[in-house]
Amino acid sequence: MSDLDPEDAKLVTLARSVRARNGAAEGAAVRDLDGRTYNASTVALPSLKLTALQAAVAAAVSSGAEGLEAAVVVTDSPAIDDDSVKAVRDLTANGPVFRATQNGEIAEVI
């Protein structure tokens, strides 16, 4: 994480923390155009299923965010779910979407 922008590194830390705190499959964090951050973990209820990134985007939108600067998902999966990326792309055409390992290592940037 040492070569990441400090604000992006903060997103990795938030995503790792929410994943660990909730014992979830994934943790995610996003930063809106005003610099506010939102984090969430996987939602797996009988009536509602969201990836962590979808949940973080939903939290941002429900708080009034009109766009995103960056997003991070911490996952053991070898790729970020397409629907997760689409949720981010609804708010930013080219902001980076980082996939990080549980250790905080950046594995991919979309």
Q: How far apart are CA 18 and CA 73, in angstroms?
A: 11
pLDDT at 2 over 80: no
Which residues are CB-neighbours of 79 under 8 A, at least 6 positions away?
99, 108
> Measuring CA to CA, how many Å separate 28 from each of 13, 45, 107?
10, 18, 14
Q: Do residues 74 and 12 lie in contact, with contact meaning Cβ atoms separated by under 8 Å?
A: yes
Percent of the chain clearing pLDDT 90 (strictly above) = 97
Query: What confidence tier does 3 reach under pLDDT thresholds 50, 70, 90?
Result: confident
Q: Indicate the pLDDT class of residue 1, thresholds 50, 70 and 90.
A: low
d(CA 94, CA 10): 20
Question: Average of pLDDT values for 94-109?
Answer: 97
pTM of the model: 0.95
Residue with tokens 């600067």: 69
